[in-house]
A and B are shown apart, each in its own frame.
Chain A
Amino acid sequence: GQNIDQPTEMTATEGAIVQINCTYQTSGFNGLFWYQQHAGEAPTFLSYNVLDGLEEKGRFSSFLSRSKGYSYLLLKELQMKDSASYLCAVQTGANNLFFGTGTRLTVIP
């Protein structure tokens, strides 16, 4: 089975940095994805990690440790438009994506 855990909600201040953690236990691992989803909208791709380490893409970075079954998404210089749900997803050997329940981030002024 698949088990993916992330915090349900987080709040952070505009301009600050926030780290959203994700731990996983899955049968098969082909990579870890982070998606952003605004309420009622489709998830949009943020990042992909398959090897250990940090991937940086502008204000967003994602880290993976396969031995620990752990990833985090780091958002810098938070903006109000970053208020959304952030979904951690693991791609299994069958190339299917299994999602955590998502972390709802609220950015406050």
Chain B
Amino acid sequence: DSGVTQTPKHLITATGQRVTLRCSPRSGDLSVYWYQQSLDQGLQFLIQYYNGEERAKGNILERFSAQQFPDLHSELNLSSLELGDSALYFCASSVRRDPQGYYGYTFGSGTRLTVV
């Protein structure tokens, strides 16, 4: 158990629908990162939150949004779903490890989204 909790593990939904993926970072970790991994694709960075504020955006579609709540859990909202949104969605959290600024990333087990 990595300490990063993602729910649900599996999600099947129809095109056009909206879903919410949830992530709880490890205790003490302030940052949350969301990644998308399509079949045979690399991990694509979507968005980062730090202590409730958006810090960085990657290749996140306008149909997707995220937020981080005061208790530090985060939700990724995917709307107007398309077949191409089917993928594994990972959340990771990080905490500084050493004075050189090494931020260790720990990944949750992911949510497998299937859009039919």
Contact with A along B30-52 (1 / 0, CB 8 A): 01010100000111110010000
Interface size on A, residues (CB 8 A): 23
- Tell whether, in the assembled complex, residue A91 and residue B103 are in contact, meaning their CB atoms are under 8 Å apart: yes
Task: Report the tally of A-B residue pairs with Cβ distances under 8 A.
Answer: 56
CB <8 Å contact, A40 and B58: no
B21 on the interface (CB 8 Å rule)?
no
Q: Does B101 reach chain A (CB closer than 8 Å)?
A: yes
Q: Is the CB of A97 within 8 A of B33?
A: yes
Interface string of B73-116 (1 = CB under 8 A from A): 00000000000000010101010000011111111111010000
**Within the complex, what minimum Cβ distance (angstroms) separates A38 from chain B?**
11
- Answer yes or no: B18 CB below 8 A from chain A CBs: no
Q: Which residues of A contact B (CB under 8 A)?
A: 30-31, 33, 40-45, 48, 50, 87, 89, 91, 94-102
List 22 A-B pairs, Cβ < 8 Å.
Answer: A40-B88, A40-B110, A42-B90, A42-B108, A42-B109, A43-B90, A44-B107, A45-B105, A45-B106, A50-B100, A50-B102, A87-B42, A91-B103, A94-B48, A95-B31, A95-B94, A96-B58, A97-B33, A97-B105, A99-B42, A99-B45, A101-B42
